[in-house]
């Protein structure tokens, strides 16, 4: 059972890695914003599988925090990439 | 080769790849996003090193808070291109060789472990029972190295003072220039109403469970800070001006209680920061709760940045 | 009984892993940001749900099982809202912004 | 190779990456980022020290772990301070650069006005 759970965690990690490479290589910034989302689900799945595989229940808490902060990071991503017109007008108006 | 070491190797390769892309990325925005991903991945690495307490801290601070801080800076620096020219190719090569030498030196130190590996783990475990705690890391933080932990809170406050002192004189005591959404966004408002209650429960749980299992004031405080920032970013709560008395009280209450209990140790126990026997756990839990609040407010204000405008009357 | 639990775990976790595979294929193959977002969130959340379902029999005690389910609910809810936010950014900036 | 050594080598490589980025990248924000990468590499090496010293039924020595937790929080405080400095530099000079040459840029006297 342990090695099956490890294998499943490794498989999900490989999928997440592939997804991350694809996302981070695309030129559009909106694609980059999906990275936190991807780790929010795949990272949680990996951690839950590891918690079961190593029989260490506190790892579930790490998964909980990862879910929470992935959402927080995603908000920060969207916030820091606003529409361009308002940014330009702001940059020229203050000073 | 067992399946768990295959997992470890895959994780290390991914971490190194993402780490390299934070350095190599052309755009600062892409680099910071890669850094957030890197922080979240590093939490998994800490789990593999059996350091769940560190994993919690890394997921919260390395992934969430540092990322949010840097993304705010990226948004501001986006149109302020400095006219720096990148280093020339020979300089890059020389730097690369030098860095490779340093990394190789560190790697050698890791590959050749000392004959007798120094450890304080048995000493910690022998004395942990006296403190009434079940989590050895919390034991180290609040019993054996309590002075470090206390001073670290002071460092947080000093850093905050440093950030605040960067404000121009005219806006001292004003409102931090945290970027908030100008027009209310209904989706974000919903998230900012949904997530904080969950986060506060998790923060209290972290703080409470920290005595027995991985968790504690740092992790709880970081969650509180993140939830507070989320509420402020969504515009549900205005950013407080830094001269608010309640804000300053919350900032110092944790270190003050810690210090007071530490000084009481002179009278009630034998030394500074010594806990009277039998009350150690209760006192530590009290300190942790106060610290959670103070850390939360300090981290939130650090992320919000120096004051930039004065309060409108 | 234990064997039945283990078979359940293996099948549910495998199905979950398959959904993660499908999500990544979608990320690779779909033509624009909005459809990729769709693949990422819907499919991966289902994958996580199946993994959680599969791990339920392995959890020791009702409390741990409840915690697993609530983590899934948290990811589900926050994921849905975050997707909405990113989609809003796509609409504002165009698919190549 | 056991897990501790593997992650130790990962930490050593990250220190190398971080140092390289710190030295070669001219943008201040990227330097801060690289410094954080360097720091996390050092923390990982510390984690290896902890993992190797596992005893008394623990997964690792709690003393280095406690120190790393402290270090992560302090590193965050330092990062916040550094970013505030860069933003203040931008406010004062209109540019965010560490190079001292080229004082006559088009918008150097913007901030003090």
Read off the pLDDT of residues C19-76 as tens digits, 9 standing for 90 and up: 999 988 888 888 887 888 888 888 888 999 999 999 998 888 888 899 999 999 999 9
Question: What pLDDT does residue A61 have?
Answer: 92
**Does some domain include residue B1?**
yes
Give the domain range for residue B10: 1-76
Tokens of D112: 């003090």
pLDDT, residue B246, reads 92
- B10 contact A CB<8A: yes
Top-confidence residue, B78 or B251: B251
Residue B135 and residue B24 share a domain: no
Contact D60, D54 (CB under 8 A): yes
The boundaries of the domain holding residue C35 are 2-93
Say if residue B73's pLDDT is above 70.
yes
Report residue D1's pLDDT band, with 50, 70 and 90 as the boundaries: low
**What value does the mean pLDDT take over residues B53-64?**
90
Question: Per residue in B236-293, pLDDT tens?
Answer: 888 888 888 999 999 999 889 988 888 888 888 777 878 887 777 888 888 888 999 9
What's the confidence (pLDDT) of residue A40?
86
- CB atoms closer than 10 angstroms to residue D1: 12
Interface with C, mutate which of B186, B190, B201 (most C CBs under 10 A): B190
The pLDDT assigned to B228 comes to 93
Q: Domain extents for chain D?
A: 3-93
Q: What is the pLDDT of residue B111?
A: 87
Number of structural domains found in chain B: 2
What does DSSP assign to residue B60?
A: I
Write the Ramachandran bin of B273: left for phi over 0, alpha for psi from -120 to 50, otherwise beta: left
In this prediction, residue D81 carries a pLDDT of 93
Same domain, B158 and B47: no
Would you state the structure tokens that stand for residue B290, as one six-digit string? 């106060």
Is domain D3-93 annotated with CATH 3.40.30.10?
Answer: no
Q: Is residue B287 part of a domain?
A: yes
Cβ–Cβ below 8 Å for A65 and B223: yes
- Distance (Å, rounded) from C-alpha B123 to C-alpha B119? 8
Q: What pLDDT does residue C1 have?
A: 64
For chain C, the domain total comes to 1
DSSP labels for B282-312?
HHHHHHHHHHHHHHHHHHHHHHH-SEEEPPP
Instruction: Evaluate if residue D105 carries a pLDDT over 60.
Output: no
Residues of chain B with pLDDT > 70: what percent? 96
Chains C and D touch (3+ CB pairs under 8 A): no
Q: Which residues of chain C lie closer than 8 angstroms to B194, CB-CB?
A: 77-78, 81
Whether residue B271 is contained in a domain is answered as yes
Residue A88 is predicted with a pLDDT of 41
Q: Which residues of A touch D110 (CB under 8 A)?
A: 95
Query: Could you tell me which residues of chain A have a Cβ less than 8 Å from any Cβ in chain C?
Result: 1, 4-5, 8, 11-12, 15-16, 18-19, 22-23, 27-31, 33-34, 36-38, 40-42, 44-45, 48-49, 52, 57, 60, 63-64, 67-68, 70-71, 74-75, 77-78, 81, 83-84
Question: Which of B255, B194, B276, B269 lies closest to B230, judged by CA?
Answer: B194
**Residue B99 falls inside a structural domain:** no
Q: What is the mean pLDDT of residues B55-74?
A: 88
Contact between chains at B17 and A21 (C-beta distance less than 8 A): yes
Residue B4: pLDDT band by 50, 70, 90 thresholds? Answer: confident
Residues of chain A with pLDDT under 70: 81-95
Chain A residues with CB under 8 Å of D94 CB are 95
CA angle D20, D25, D31 (to 5 degrees): 85
pLDDT band at B80; cut points 50, 70, 90 = low
- Could you tell me if B129 and B236 lie in one domain? yes
Touching partners of B (3+ C-beta pairs < 8 Å): A, C, D
Q: What DSSP element (H or E) covers B218?
A: helix B217-233
Same domain for B134 and B53: no
- For residues D16 and B200, give the distance between their C-alpha atoms in angstroms, rounded to a whole number: 38
User: Is B149 in the same domain as B59?
Assistant: no
Asked if residue C3 lies in contact with residue A1, where contact means CB atoms within 8 angstroms, the answer is no
Average pLDDT on D11-18 reads: 94
Supply the pLDDT for residue B183: 63
Neighbours of chain D (3+ CB pairs under 8 A): A, B
| Residue showing tokens 């410094």 | D35
Block residue for tokens 């001269």: B243
pLDDT of residue D113: 35
Report which of residues C91 and B298 the model is more confident about.
Answer: B298
Task: Inform me whether the pLDDT recorded for D97 exceeds 80.
Answer: no
Q: Place B229 in a pLDDT band, splitting at 50, 70 and 90.
A: very high
Q: Are residues B127 and B272 in the same domain?
A: yes
pTM for the model: 0.90
Which residue in A73, C16, C51, D3 sits closest to B65, CA to CA? A73
Strand partners, B176: B307
Task: Give the pLDDT band of residue D110 (cuts 50, 70, 90).
Answer: very low
Q: Check whether residue B201 and residue B127 sit in a common domain.
A: yes
> Mean pLDDT, to the nearest integer, of B57-61?
91
Name the domain boundary from B76, B111, B129: B76
The reported pLDDT for the residue numbered B120 is 78
* A58–D contact, CB cutoff 8 A: no
**Residue B97 counted as domain residue:** no
């Amino acid at each position: 059972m342990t090695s099956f759970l490890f294998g499943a965690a490794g498989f999900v990690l490989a999928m997440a890695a592939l997804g991350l490479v694809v996302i981070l290589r695309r030129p559009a910034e909106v694609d980059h914003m999906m990275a936190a989302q991807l780790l929010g689900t795949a990272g949680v799945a990996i951690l839950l599988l590891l918690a079961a595989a190593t029989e260490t229940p506190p790892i579930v808490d790490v998964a909980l925090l990862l879910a929470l902060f992935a959402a927080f990071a995603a908000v920060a991503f969207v916030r820091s990439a606003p529409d361009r017109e308002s940014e330009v007008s702001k940059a020229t108006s203050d000073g | 080769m067992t399946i768990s070491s295959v997992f470890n190797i895959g994780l290390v390769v991914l971490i190194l790849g993402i780490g390299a892309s934070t350095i190599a990325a052309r755009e600062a925005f892409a680099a910071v996003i890669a850094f957030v991903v890197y922080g979240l991945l590093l939490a998994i690495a800490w789990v593999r090193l059996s350091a769940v307490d560190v994993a919690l801290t890394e997921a919260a601070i390395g992934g969430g808070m540092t990322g949010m801080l840097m993304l705010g800076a990226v948004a501001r620096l986006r149109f302020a291109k400095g006219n720096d020219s990148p280093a020339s190719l020979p300089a890059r090569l020389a730097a690369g060789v030098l860095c490779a030498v340093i990394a190789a030196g560190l790697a050698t130190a890791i590959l050749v472990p000392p004959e007798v590996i120094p450890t304080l783990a048995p000493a910690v475990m022998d004395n942990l029972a006296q403190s009434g705690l079940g989590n050895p890391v919390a034991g180290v933080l609040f019993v054996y190295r309590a002075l470090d932990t206390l001073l670290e809170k002071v460092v947080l406050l000093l850093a905050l003072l440093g950030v605040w002192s960067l404000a121009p004189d005219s806006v001292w005591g004003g409102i931090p220039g945290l970027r908030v959404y100008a027009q209310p966004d209904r989706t974000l408002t919903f998230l900012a109403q949904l997530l904080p209650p969950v986060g506060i429960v998790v923060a209290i749980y972290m703080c409470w469970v920290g005595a027995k299992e991985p968790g504690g004031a740092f992790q709880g405080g970081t969650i509180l800070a993140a939830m507070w920032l989320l509420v402020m970013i969504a515009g549900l709560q205005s950013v407080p001006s830094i001269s608010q008395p309640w804000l300053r009280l919350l900032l110092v209450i944790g270190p003050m209680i810690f210090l007071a209990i530490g000084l009481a140790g002179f009278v009630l126990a034998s030394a500074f920061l010594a806990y009277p026997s039998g009350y150690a756990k209760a006192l530590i839990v009290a300190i942790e709760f106060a610290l959670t609040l103070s850390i939360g407010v300090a981290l939130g204000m650090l992320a919000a940045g120096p004051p930039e405008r004065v309060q409108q009357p | 009984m234990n064997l039945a639990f283990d078979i359940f775990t293996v099948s549910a976790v495998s199905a979950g892993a398959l959904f993660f595979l499908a999500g990544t294929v979608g990320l690779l193959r779909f033509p624009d940001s909005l459809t990729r977002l769709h693949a990422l969130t819907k499919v991966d959340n289902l994958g996580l749900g199946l993994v959680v379902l599969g791990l339920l029999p392995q959890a020791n005690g009702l409390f741990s099982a409840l915690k697993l389910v609530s983590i899934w609910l948290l990811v589900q809810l926050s994921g849905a809202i975050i997707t909405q936010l990113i989609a809003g950014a796509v609409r504002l900036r165009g698919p190549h912004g | 190779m056991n897990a501790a050594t593997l992650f130790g080598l990962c930490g050593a490589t990250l220190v190398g990456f971080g140092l390289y980025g710190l030295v070669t990248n001219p943008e201040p924000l990227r330097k801060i980022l690289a410094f954080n990468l360097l720091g996390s590499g050092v923390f990982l090496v510390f984690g290896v020290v902890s993992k190797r010293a596992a005893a008394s039924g623990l997964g690792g020595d709690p003393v280095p772990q406690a120190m790393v937790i402290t270090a992560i929080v302090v590193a965050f405080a330092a990062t916040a301070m550094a970013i505030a400095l860069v933003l203040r530099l931008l406010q004062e000079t209109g540019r965010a650069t560490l190079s001292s040459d080229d004082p006559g840029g088009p918008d150097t006297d913007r901030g003090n006005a």
